[in-house]
Amino acid sequence: MNYKNLGRTGLKVSAVGLGCGNFGGIGSAPAFFGKGETEEEAFAVMDVAWDLGINFFDTADAYGGGRSETYIGNWLKSKGSRVRDQLILSSKVFNPVGDGPNDQGLSRRHVMRQIDASLKRLGADYLDMYLMHETDPTTPLDETLRAMDDLIHMGKVRYIGASQMPAWLMTKALWISDKYNLHRFEWVQNSYSLLDRADEKEMFPLCADQDIGFTPFSPLAGGLLTGKYQLSTDYPAGSRMTLRPEPYFKFWNQGTFDGLERVKAKANEYGMSMGGLALAWVMSSPHVTAPIVGPRKPDHFQPVREALTLNLSAEERQAIADLLG
């Protein structure tokens, strides 16, 4: 396993992060709380990730209605202080955790309440990394930044970042932090894959200019880049698409699936799986710190193992990207 600095910070994270959004649910959607991986299944996934050298676990307060953080906390308790001392814990705040009007968002009140709730579930004294899960148009950005800056001064958080953040708003956040001498966002966590390259236009130049880390989620586009889905057939039993296909409907067309066949053929040339090549493509970007992967079973780590063995040149990256138009 390779380890990379998170942006300009001295924090070193594994070249791949473990996404824990399926522990006890499917992301933050209340309709799926209690579904997803059981605690026993989550333990097995975390064991494999740790054995692979992955030191960066990514979760959120609302994943599985809090179950994701609880499972991680219980796993850490079973492993002891040696593992906790080496593990980089990352969580997020924004999504609803209750029915009240103040049980969501990025207000000072909600941020301060949720950090304590997350730490309790995780059985931790502090979080290494803490992100705003989404943008909140109902709360001034400087209110959120001041609250998160206070968390660092209180010793409850080490570094702060932002997820699902457009480049223009990240620029504004950096300006506010600079103007008022606040701790700034040190990394961004947006979607990025062979099928979703929007951040290349504005976010990547900003990350390069400001030395911001980038930890993309959905590097395999919900499994589309593993080749397990077909355009005109039913979703495989137990797959992500059987539970929450809506975010991927935009890819469900003949042009996309023709491109996926070309990527699959290229993967065969490299002697690896389609998922392994797609993940290696993301990891080979000079702007990417560590993609977040979400294997649901131990054997789903095979693309990760493959990707860690392949270093693509800039020319190879471009040739692979061109396969999808």
Query: What DSSP assignment string belongs to 100-117?
Result: STTSSSS-HHHHHHHHHH
CA angle 124, 125, 129 (to 5 degrees): 80
Query: Rounded CA gap, 152 and 168, in Å?
Result: 24
Tokens of 130: 């803490």
Mean pLDDT of 205-224: 96
Domain assignments of the chain as residue spans, ordered by start: 3-221+287-295
Does the pLDDT at position 232 exceed 80? no
- Residues known to be catalytic: 63
pLDDT digits (tens, 9 = 90+) for 83-135: 999 999 999 999 999 999 999 999 999 999 999 999 999 999 999 999 999 99
CA distances from 274 to 27, 76, 85, 250, 268 (A): 25, 33, 35, 20, 8
Say what the pLDDT of residue 248 is.
78
Does the pLDDT at position 5 exceed 80? yes
- DSSP per residue over 125-138, as a string? S-EEEEEESS--TT
Mean pLDDT of 309-319: 96
Whole-model pTM: value is: 0.94
Does the pLDDT at position 234 exceed 80? no
- Which residue is associated with the tokens 């009240």? 100
Mean pLDDT of 166-174: 98
What one-letter code names the amino acid at 89?
Answer: L
Q: What is the mean pLDDT of the chain?
A: 95
Say what the pLDDT of residue 185 is.
98
Give me the percent of the chain exceeding a pLDDT of 70: 98
Superfamily (CATH H level) for 3-221+287-295: NADP-dependent oxidoreductase domain (3.20.20.100)
Say what the pLDDT of residue 90 is.
98
Does the pLDDT at position 239 exceed 80? no
